[in-house]
């Protein structure tokens, strides 16, 4: 069965520090991968998506970047965090070719920038 792992679960980082959040998927190949952010009291915003290794598309201009060094690994990074980067970050995967019309989400990382 397919599983998705996301870590860490919570993170408190000072302003100006770097960030690395990791997401891995098991049990599937060539998934579409996504990073979403949920700011406090707001809905979900798509940050990045990837349809293959090394292929990253950014949906909104921001202080963050994403990378996909392996087929089932998706990393969200920042060189210098801002206060506005605080939020709940969710990784997700989908595989259109298998007839699944939805996403599977990770359990999320709650990031607080102080």
Contact residues: another protein, CB under 8 A: 6, 32, 34, 42-44, 46, 49, 51, 57, 59, 90, 92, 94, 96, 101-108
15 or 51: CB nearest another protein: 51
Residue 33 or 64 having the CB closest to another protein: 33
Please list the residues that pair with 55 across neighbouring strands: 52
User: Looking at residue 5, what DSSP letter applies?
Assistant: E
Shortest Cβ distance from residue 5 to another protein (Å)? 11
110's enclosing H/E stretch is strand 109-113
Q: Which residue has the tokens 């989908």?
A: 94
- As measured in angstroms, the least distance from the Cβ of 59 to another protein is 8
Residue closer to another protein by CB (options 71, 103) is 103
Q: Which of 58, 63, 59 is nearest to 80 (CA)?
A: 63
State the minimum distance, in angstroms, from the CB of residue 64 to another protein: 17
> In the chain, which ranges are continuous DSSP H helix?
none
């Amino acid at each position: 069965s397919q599983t998705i792992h996301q870590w860490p679960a919570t993170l408190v980082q000072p302003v100006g520090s770097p960030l690395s959040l990791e997401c891995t998927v098991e049990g599937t190949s060539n998934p579409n991968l996504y990073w979403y952010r949920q700011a406090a009291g707001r809905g979900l915003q798509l940050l990045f998506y990837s349809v293959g290794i090394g292929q990253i598309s950014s949906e909104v201009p921001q202080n963050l970047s994403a990378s996909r060094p392996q087929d089932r690994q998706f990393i969200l990074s920042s060189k210098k965090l801002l206060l506005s980067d605080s939020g709940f970050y969710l990784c997700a995967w989908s595989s259109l070719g298998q007839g699944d019309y939805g996403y599977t989400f990770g359990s999320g990382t709650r990031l607080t920038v102080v």
